[in-house]
Chains A and B, each alone.
Chain A
Amino acid sequence: MDRFVFLLSAGLARGAVLALFALSLVIVWRTARVVNFAQAAMAVAAVYAAFAVTAATGSYWAGLLTGLAAGALLGAIVERGLMRRLPAHAPLPGIIVAIGLVMVLQAGLAIAFGPEHRPMQPPFSQRPFIIGGIPVLSPYDLFTLGAAAAVMAALALLFNRSSLGLRLRAAAFAPETARLLGVRVPRMITLGWALSCAAASLAALLLVPTELGLNPHAVDLLFVNAFAVAVIGGLDSPAGALVAGIGVGLLVSLVTGYASASAAPLAVLALMTLVLLVRPGGLFAPKEARTA
């Protein structure tokens, strides 16, 4: 029972990070109808920026803010410099460019910083609290949960309760109509990419201190799992990303704890396959997306 509670609490923190990264994929999908396969490479580039600033200033928080800003800036640059120039109604060029960007960014980071793992210190202890003799969440887990929840809540408020969010949604749902209604669609798409990559960068920043450390491939597995989460939840659904993120986080934690770490990706893949067989558009997909 102790082990089960510990694994559940660890899975919750992992799930929050997964949900945040999946949400970043959902945002860019809703904004530009592109699955951004370069999201992990872009996020890890932002983490390197954070790492450099933390190393120079000694402040984790300065690094964190730099990482978020770098992620947003990189998202805007990639949209304006690359994605905007691609044919609008064909998904394949966007995917190919994103895969090319992964290679360029990861090779560039390896050249600039080296391929080795660089340890990143978390701002809070990773030693779990003991409650009733059972190890549960650590202070860093609580920080991770709080940061991910705060950002997801802020994004939900932005999209659903602000006039900017209304224009972002209008530009995503029907860009041609939105243009006729005065919405600056290209600006909204750039903003969507910036928000998405900032969210992905935060997820990566929260994850890296708990893993082996920072290297150009440090976020690859997070991307794979988060992509599965986004598909399970429904690529169009922020709520789906949240629920599926927590679910997959718990699944990974329990399978890792009771079976082995190498079985966890298979469990995620099996879950995704099962969901796709039952609901091809994902658990929270709207009706039209399922039939598309």
Chain B
Amino acid sequence: MNTPPPPRLSVSGLEVAFGGLTALDGVSFEVRDGETVALIGPNGAGKTTVFNAVCGLVKPRKGTVRIGGRPAPSRPTGLLKAGVARTLQGLGLFERMTVLENVLVPLTALRVPDAVAKAHSTLAELGLADLAARPAGTLPYPERKRVALARALAADPKLLLLDEPAGGLGTADIDALAETVGRVAGSGRAVLLVEHHVDFVMRVADRIVVLDFGQVIASGTPEAVQGDPAVEAAYLGLEAAA
């Protein structure tokens, strides 16, 4: 009998505190290969803190983070080697570097052979080939978001963490993003995303984990979560009221 592979990401009993404030309280969930999981919740629910704990940017008080069955690297520098790439809410592009150089940074850090060819092919996949020589800081916002995504995808991560990927994008760009996320998950990679854009989440997520005040209040398929009264009260209800 074959044992199933371990989850690509397993977060178990995660507790994070900043001084006296408990940001995460016993958060547990899993993301499997080929699956797209969305973390949603009101502002301050602890979504980005989960990302930061997975990336080693904050140290959990309790709990474990395992990637592919192994403990997550304790330092962010080891993330890419462990097969994890992340985009940032603020994009974090190297503004004065060209688009190509931005995408080359993770590839050279990993010493990927033929890094330049790999970077060009990733840019072409995301429709950025013509912008390769442009300084990243000169691009319009949607293109800059695509550069951040290309940079995360360039090193072929097994787990992609997307922090508010649809934020600030128009309908056409959100459609293209949904297609890209679908393609990434379709290729067998795991995607975990934090997002406020509910329509986008409902479209791309296989499962949704809802956080409120640092705790998981619901988890399941988009349909199941959408009808959950606790979620409506904590998040979707607020959206509807707004």
Contact = CB atoms under 8 A, between A and B. Distances in A.
Interface of A: 163, 166-167, 169-170, 173-174, 176-185, 286, 288
A104 B193 CA distance: 53
Contacts of A286: 96
Nearest to A178: B105
B56 to A, nearest CB: 9
Contacts, number: 62
B101 interface: yes
User: 4 closest A-B pairs (Cβ-Cβ)?
Assistant: A182-B109, A177-B92, A163-B108, A182-B80
Interface string B145-165: 000000100010000000000
A182 B96 contact: no
Contacts of A177: 88, 92-94
Contact of B76 (A163, A169, A179, A288): A179
Chain B binding site: helix, strand, loop or mixed by DSSP? loop
A136 to B, nearest CB: 39
B175 interface: no
A19 to B, nearest CB: 21
B97 A181 contact: no
Contacts of B93: 177
Given A166-B108, A180-B57, 16 more contacts: A163-B115, A166-B104, A167-B105, A170-B105, A173-B97, A174-B92, A177-B94, A179-B77, A180-B55, A180-B88, A181-B105, A182-B109, A182-B110, A183-B109, A185-B77, A288-B95
Interface of B: 55, 57, 75-81, 86, 88, 92-97, 101, 104-106, 108-110, 115, 151, 155
B35 to A, nearest CB: 22
Contact of B79 (A163, A180, A184, A288): A180
11 contacts: A163-B104, A166-B104, A173-B95, A174-B92, A174-B94, A177-B93, A177-B94, A180-B55, A180-B88, A182-B110, A183-B109
